[in-house]
Amino acid sequence: MPRSISSNAGSLAKRTILGVFLLLFLYESWIFSQVLWWKWNAPKSTSFMSIRLEEMRRYNPAAKLRYEWVDYENISSHLKRAVVAAEDGKFVDHNGFDWDAIKNALQKNLQRGKVAAGGSTISQQLAKNLFLSPSKSYLRKIQEAVITGMIEITWDKRRILEVYLNVAEWGDGVFGAQAAARAHYGTSAAYLSAYQSARMAVMLPNPRVFEDRLPSYAIRYSQTVQRRMSSARIP
């Protein structure tokens, strides 16, 4: 290959790599700006909400999500404790990652030959809900980890739990503790009982599957969660 052609090809490759890194930097900067904005402002929508609304409108163009923000102090402590007990027992202690859970998840994934378990903390789940999709891949997990780091260094644990409880999916088009409390129990998020809160907490992994009827194993787990709630630490 002539030297001039080789030089041009090398220069093009360098510009391409530089362009990719610049686009990546701009994308991550946009995400970080959103993280900073949501430190003080309630999200009006999330990636998961947008995806779900699009799915619903394929069948009903007039479909709407049920979502209503409530401040941290207006969410039952029972629900806060139940979600921590069910989803992330080390929530107040870790920096966004439960390394023991991640190690166990990696072992399961290697055994199954696919990304099946994630070992995600509440912070990681929040990062995914806000910006990403439900798809499972190692590339998405890397991006999830980056966003989790952004959230952990800019928000305190109280804000993380507050936003998570407000944007988590709790049924078909039902997002957040307030909409969920009204949809499932006809009450406000502030008045959820320990029993109701434990039932809601175990819905989180499969909210649309579990909203009509909890299977027997989920009912048993809700009883376990309710017993754990007294020792669950919350911000």
Q: pLDDT for 69-111, tens place per residue?
A: 999 999 999 999 999 999 999 999 999 998 887 777 677 666 6
Prediction pTM value: 0.89
Helix segments in the chain, DSSP class H: 3-38, 47-59, 77-87, 99-112, 122-131, 138-154, 157-167, 177-185, 194-203, 207-210, 216-228
217 lies in a domain?
Answer: yes
DSSP, collapsed to helix, strand or coil, labels residue 41 as: coil
Q: Residue 127 is part of a domain; what is its CATH number?
A: 1.10.3810.10
Domain span including residue 102: 39-231
77 lies in a domain?
Answer: yes
6 lies in a domain?
Answer: no
25 lies in a domain?
Answer: no
Per-residue pLDDT at 113 exceeds 70? no
Q: What is the pLDDT of residues 4-51, one digit of tens each?
A: 555 666 677 777 788 878 898 899 999 999 999 999 999 999 999 999
31 lies in a domain?
Answer: no
3 lies in a domain?
Answer: no
Counted domains in the chain: 1
84 lies in a domain?
Answer: yes
What confidence category does residue 118 fall into, taking pLDDT thresholds of 50, 70 and 90? low
Element (H, E) at 168: none
202 lies in a domain?
Answer: yes
Q: Extract the tokens encoding 82.
A: 């139940």
Looking at residue 232, its amino acid is: A
